[in-house]
Amino acid sequence: MITRRGLLEAAGGAVAFGSGGALAAPAGSAALQEDTRPWLSPSLPAGTRAEAAFETLAGKKPLIRLTDRPPNYEAPLSYLRTAITPNDEFFVRYHLAGIPHVDASTWKLSIGGEVANSDVTLSLDALKTLPAFEVTAVCQCAGNRRGLFQPHVPGVQWGNGAMGCARWKGARLKDVLDLAGLKNNVVEIVFDGADGPVLDKTPDFLKSLPLWKATEETTLVAYEMNGEALPHLNGFPARIIVPGWTATYWMKHVITITAVTKPFDGFWMKSAYRIPIGKFPLVTHFLSQETETTTPITEIVVNSLITSPVDGARVKAGRRTMISGIAWDGGYGISMVEISADGGKSWMEAALGEDLGKYAFRSWSHEFIPKRRGKLAFAARATNRIGQTQIHELIQNPAGYNNNVVQTVTLDVV
């Protein structure tokens, strides 16, 4: 089992603390004083701000630690300024603290349940003999921006950085399932990973997908991320990739895939990761798991993020300045990003960057010249190709999901 000490020691130790207990910056970064920490949103709960720290895990650049057991580390804003997130800058999210060391040479993937042929067991080498497929897609925790909810709600208090975008390569899940064959009455596919609970009473993290989603062309059993083997903390040696849907379904360290003929009723499906029915304008639904009042969270809602300049940055009056960021959604594709400098009374269309695919981050930018000294607030909103636009008022829900409120940064023009 991997411990926090092991994670930090493998990376050469935690970030050092200076005199008086103040967090010292890692090499090459700016000093991180409490009142000028752009990597930690001032809107987060006071307790989160007091406990969060910059730490370096094995194979990673410094990330913002929100919890260490299980490890939940988000990317600072500066890591999200490009459409592709490097592996060593990708966020880390676990539900359970029992994280194993996985040996690729002995790892096995078992496929069974309600299958027409017979159970199948694959080694990593055998998985790689199946036709390879690659997709560029955003991996985003369902609770991203939960810490920015007002009033605050329970759960990991994520800021903006519980997400990243990568090029994922692996075998299509439907090709893996075809090896065992599926009975005609299969309704869901259930996944389990090698990580597990420390306490007997803690439910293991198992998730399911509806059969139609599991067999889409882009749903993968991936073993590469940005052209390299998956980092251990992002699911090595193989994980499930579900483009367009939130990362709760992207099972890390996957070891079993089970076909079932009735809705899976494990805790993480029946009780967790659910939203009130009718609250969000979602297109895709997980009908076999719906009740009269709640439905599982599925697709990522349309969203955008201003990544530069940061909130509170100083810019020069009369000098050309670039405001830029990223936009994304659940796989319909971004059609437009707009900028407002007058509180939403008028909007200007930003220039979109390269289209890396409908599931990917879409970079955008807008050049402007601030004319007067003082405070200047900029808002950004994204619209996707089916006409969905970011919202201006938070949709409250108990678990703090789907925060896609239009973001504003305020610049200091001098």
Task: Write down the domain spans for the chain.
Answer: 4-86, 108-296, 303-413
Asked if 298 and 401 count as a contact pair (C-beta separation under 8 A), the reply is no
Asked if 110 and 126 count as a contact pair (C-beta separation under 8 A), the reply is no
- Which CATH number is associated with domain 108-296? 3.90.420.10
Q: Which residues contact 53 (CB under 8 A, 6 or more apart)?
A: 14, 15, 23, 64, 65
Does the bond joining 151 to the residue before it have cis omega, within 30 degrees of 0?
A: yes
Q: Do domains 108-296 and 303-413 have the same CATH topology?
A: no
Query: Does residue 22 surpass a pLDDT of 90?
Result: no
CATH topology for the 303-413 domain: Immunoglobulin-like (2.60.40)
Query: Does residue 295 surpass a pLDDT of 90?
Result: yes
pTM beyond 0.95, yes or no: no
pLDDT at 62: 96
Q: Which residues of 62-75 are buried (b: 16+ CB within 10 A; e: fewer)?
A: bbbbbbbebbbbbb
Averaged pLDDT, 284-292: 96
Query: Does residue 28 surpass a pLDDT of 70?
Result: no
Q: For 42-99, what is each residue's pLDDT tens digit?
A: 889 999 999 999 999 999 999 999 999 999 999 999 999 999 999 999 999 999 999 9
Cα–Cα distances in angstroms (integers) from residue 364 to residues 306, 339, 380, 409, in the given order: 9, 10, 10, 16
- The residue type found at 326 is I
Query: Does residue 16 surpass a pLDDT of 90?
Result: no
Averaged pLDDT, 324-350: 97
pLDDT at 30: 38
